[in-house]
Amino acid sequence: MAFRSFVEGDPDSEFIKNGMLSNIKSSGIVLNTFSELESVYLDHLKKDLKHERVFAVGPLLQPSDEHKERGGSNSLEVNHLLSWLDTCPDRSVVYVCFGSEAVLNNKQMEELALGLEKSGIKFIWIAKEPTLGHVAGEYGAVPTDFEDRVAGRGFVIKGWVPQIVILNHRAVGSFLTHCGGNCWSTNASVAIWSRSSH
């Protein structure tokens, strides 16, 4: 997954690149992925970088019940959310999450909120709050009164949620995401719609 988002000179990209170069010198590389998803990259490691001992062993996940109590705080009681999911029909809820790193700018937040509101679908939207690297007031703002307008059919959550528990719930039928490293591995059985966070 790192190859797709590599940016020359970016400290995070360079860190990943240096880690990969170190891995190439190892006796073997074990990756939490599967060949059907990333065969191009696995083949690159094997053929172009001449490292034959590359093993795709994923997706490897912890049991979902271990994830319910893990993580940080959020703006909603997890048990309340799971109880709400229990009342929803099978595969009727869209889970919206752009990962732990991506923060949408306010225009993107407005457009996403508008789409969710007009669609009439049930949803859970994990809204990443701005971090120190973002200009104050320009990122991560959920539109005013949006949560009131979608009350009963949609949740906006700021903070950690038990993603695997949610994605494995029978009511969740799709996952709108940026397709980062963890989103595909948490539930390969859910339909995934990718949307770039850039």
pLDDT per residue as tens digits for the range 98-116: 887 778 899 999 999 999 9
Q: Is the pTM of this model over 0.85?
A: no
CATH for 64-194 is: 3.40.50.2000
Q: If 0-12 CB within 10 Å is exposed, 13-18 middle and 19+ buried, where does residue 9 land? A: exposed
- What pLDDT is attached to residue 5? 67
Domain positions in the chain = 3-56, 64-194
- What are the residues facing 194 on neighbouring strands? 177
